[in-house]
Amino acid sequence: MSVQAYAVRDEQRPPDNALLQIVQRGLGARPKRLPSWLFYDDHGSALFEQICEQPEYYLTRAEIALLTAHAGDIAEMLGPDVRLVEYGSGHAIKTRLLLQQLAAPVAWVPVELSSEPLRLSMQQMQAHFPLLPIQPLAADFTRPLRLPVPPRAPRHTVLYFPGSTIGNFEEREAAQLLRKMRGEMGDNGGILVGVDLKKDRATIEAAYNDRAGITAAFTLNMLTRLNRELGCNFELGAFRHRARYNAMAGRIETHIVSNKEQRIRVGRLQTLFREDEAMLVEYSCKYSLEEFAALATLAGLAVQQIWLDPEGLFSLQYLTR
């Protein structure tokens, strides 16, 4: 099973039976691993928003600084009459910074699996841009999308994928996702993607081990969710969060580690955790500019333009065919 991640929320979860199977399979794997979308129940989504405000979590700060500095240049390069399709819709500030610079956008199409966050972000955006046509799409952006018919013909379609969510996919899956996006953007279209960059270990590890313990709470919240939804018996105090940078692989690897030998109930099955056994729950991949260009090539895309934040921590990259 692959460790996939994107911000899905509570009501997006698969039916309980499917969830049970996913978790049983993950706990039966060697090493154990669970998909990171399990983080994002309502509480997990709220914790993720808090993570974005932690001083150590440079990604959000850097991406906002980047857009503050370069949204005008980006909009100029994209030109007028763009249809902006956003993968996920939870990035109101970033989207606003971009939309306010775009000349005569044809439509904004936020794509999100669950309807409630979609409704909320539509409301917020409509208040800021009363004349902007908004065409929400309730769909799983990892699957092929049927984009709504635009209100008028766009000059091109830009798929906006901010926040380094591409980093939560393993390389092969990331290439597959980009290739799927390549089909959706059409011949003249492009992809504007947020990519977190490789940097010193200390900076990266601090971002996933904030002092206030919010990321640790976010990680362990997955166990609370499984207790609630599947009747598991995880004791929160008997597990710990561990996020380490694997420099060879270029990624943060987040694990939930068992503090002792213990048996956990998952439906009718029981699984044994040994003392210090680690279960993989998330990858957050970091790229050099060259590595990301190679990934784009694998997906049949080329990097047209790169913008960096003033500290050079984070990049927004524009990919075309």
Residues near ligand AVI (CB under 6 A) are 51, 59, 163-165, 167-168, 208, 215, 282, 284
User: Smaller CB distance to ligand AVI: residue 103 or 236?
Assistant: 236
Structure token digits, residue 64: 């906002």
256, 223 contact by CB (below 8 A):
yes
How many other β-carbons are positioned within 10 Å of the β-carbon of residue 236?
A: 12
163, 91 contact by CB (below 8 A):
yes
Nearest approach, Cβ of residue 148 and ligand AVI (Å): 26
User: Smaller CB distance to ligand AVI: residue 137 or 252?
Assistant: 252
Q: What are the C-alpha distances in Å from 143 to residues 24, 146, 171, 177, 180? A: 24, 10, 17, 8, 8
Give CA–CA dist 63/311, Å, rounded. 10
Residue with tokens 């794509």: 111
Nearest approach, Cβ of residue 166 and ligand AVI (Å): 8
Residue closest to ligand AVI (Cβ): 284
User: Smaller CB distance to ligand AVI: residue 147 or 292?
Assistant: 292
Half-sphere exposure of 68 (CA within 13 A, CB side): 9
Nearest approach, Cβ of residue 267 and ligand AVI (Å): 27
Nearest approach, Cβ of residue 197 and ligand AVI (Å): 13
How many other β-carbons are positioned within 10 Å of the β-carbon of residue 66?
A: 25
User: Smaller CB distance to ligand AVI: residue 168 or 317?
Assistant: 168
Nearest approach, Cβ of residue 96 and ligand AVI (Å): 19
User: Smaller CB distance to ligand AVI: residue 16 or 200?
Assistant: 200
How many other β-carbons are positioned within 10 Å of the β-carbon of residue 254?
A: 26
User: Smaller CB distance to ligand AVI: residue 135 or 219?
Assistant: 219
